[in-house]
Structure 1
Amino acid sequence: MAFARATGKHRRPNRLTRKSANIAGVAALTTTGVIGTLASPALAADTAAAEDTGINQAVSVGGSLADHIDAQAVAQQEAAEQAAAQKKAEEKAEAEAKRKAEAKAKKEREEKERKERAAREAERKRLNSFTSPIPGSYVSTGYKTGGAVWSSGSHTGIDFHAASGTAVHAVGSGTVVEAGWGGSYGNNVVIKMNDGTYTQYGHLSSIGVSVGQSVTPGSQIGLSGATGNVTGPHLHFEARTSPDYGSDIDPIAYLRSHGVSV
């Protein structure tokens, strides 16, 4: 069944007719000044304006809202830039702290190595040095002094003044090759020095080392006394080219050649 469109005064005006009437009404109001009275210039500028697209009305954004959006975008960009700058500063500070820590560790390591080298050098010098068998004492009987008390007719060493029980020291680094009774020498110690020479310490009241023991300059090897062929307590000291009797050399010249003041 077909429907006929209503005609006459009861027919609803079509869309185009309504729109034309609205435009005409707005024009009439504008002519009479009504719109000018209702809408102030400020309100017209800040509110959304209606734009006729021919089909639907589109709303365009006013100036204040656009400015707000732009300001928000700028603030976000500035915040991002500040965060990036702060991160870069933190990374730089961390790198600088790491560099300083590494430099400090390197300096401490170098200082430790320097001290170790110095200690090794000092120990090397000490081991190669010589000292008096009784520091602070003096020679009471010289080398080659003649007399009937010596079977060879002369003194084969030197005597250091010392009361019984005075500490006796090795004059340098070496190895003990004899430690015990030595006949007319009484209790004695013979040391083969690192330079190949030999030193002897006689008339000891006690012996503090054994054969095969290594000694260093200043090591205590016994106590002075009056054992063997003596007239009183003292230390008999000899320097030799071999461990045997008769290979003696001038002990004063020997000690002085090694830097000992006698």
Structure 2
Amino acid sequence: MAFGSRPTGSGKHRGSSRLSRKTAGYAGIAALATTGVVGTLAAPAFAADNSGPSMEDTGQNPVVVANDLQGDIVAQADSQQRAAEAVSAQAQAEADAKQRAAEAKRVAEVAEAKAKADRETAERVAREEERKRLNTYVSPVAGSYVSTSYGAGGAMWSSGSHTGIDFHASLGTTIRAVGAGTVVEAGWGGAYGNNVIIKHNDGTYTQYGHMDSLTVSAGQQVAPGQQIGRAGTTGNSSGVHLHFEARTSAQYGSDINPLAYLRSHGVNL
């Protein structure tokens, strides 16, 4: 029996076999999946062969992957935002702390400067008060008066005239240093009886004679108004009183007008 034979040409006009069409369909699905495109374009490739992978088997996977990726991106963005906010808050807290520290330092510096200025002012006032005190002069007998003037003549003075002034006083009345200075003599002074000589800060000297007792000694520093003895009538004296002299030196004969001397130092007599 004779069978008809089918020409076997080169095959270039032969239609696609079922296997080749099926393979092409799979390739198309794979290509579309890599781009995340899923839809009706993949459907024709499966129409030729119902035995291939279904839409449900392959088409939904890219969608799930895309959704997961999007969620990761959002979560990462949220995390980065929170981290940035935390860094910003930390930086702001540090800046606020620095500002508070700077303000506290400034307040402390202002307070210290004020305290220093106050101390300097107090010290300056104290020095001024001390200077005034040291330059202050007082009467040698508080509330008294001059009973015998300077230069008065008479036989009772060896020089023929009074070399000082006499202040009225009662026995035991306090005798005061007229100004600040150093005691250069304290003891018996012959005709002056118990006497004290003081060198003052301006280089002048004062003498206090006929005292009953002394309360200072040579070399001692005295302040204006400080007690140096008590009134009496020792030595060449006609009665209780204070003989007071102002001198340019500690030696007899260097006397100057004691009333003018006291007045020049602000003592009203």
Name which of 168, 175, 188 aligns with 1:168.
175
2:216 counterpart SS class = coil
| TM-score of the aligned structures, taking structure 1 as reference length | 0.72
Match of 2:5? none
Match of 1:93? 100
Match of 2:67? 61
Distance 1:23 1:232, change over 3 A: farther
Q: Please give the alpha-carbon distance, in whole angstroms, between the structure 2 residues aligned to 1:23 and 1:107.
A: 95
Correspondence list, 1:1-262, <5 A: 25-26=54-55, 50-51=61-62, 59-61=65-67, 66-262=73-269
Deviations along 1:77-111, one digit per CA (max 9) or x if unpaired, are 22221221111011110111012112211221222
Unaligned runs of 5+ in 2: 1-21, 27-45
Larger Rg: 2
- Number of residue pairs the alignment of both structures matches: 224
| TM-score of the aligned structures, taking structure 2 as reference length | 0.71
Q: Please give the alpha-carbon distance, in whole angstroms, between the structure 1 residues aligned to 2:243 and 2:213.
A: 14
Distance 1:157 1:61, change over 3 A: same
How far has the Cα of 1:203 moved from its partner? 1.3
Deviations along 1:31-84, one digit per CA (max 9) or x if unpaired, are xxxx9xxxxxxxxxxxxx5219xxxxx722356665454334323322221221
Q: Please give the alpha-carbon distance, in whole angstroms, between the structure 2 residues aligned to 1:118 and 1:77.
A: 61
Distance 1:127 1:22, change over 3 A: farther
Q: Please give the alpha-carbon distance, in whole angstroms, between the structure 1 residues aligned to 2:227 and 2:79.
A: 90
RMSD: 3.1
1:259 counterpart SS class = coil
Q: Please give the alpha-carbon distance, in whole angstroms, between the structure 1 residues aligned to 2:185 and 2:77.
A: 103
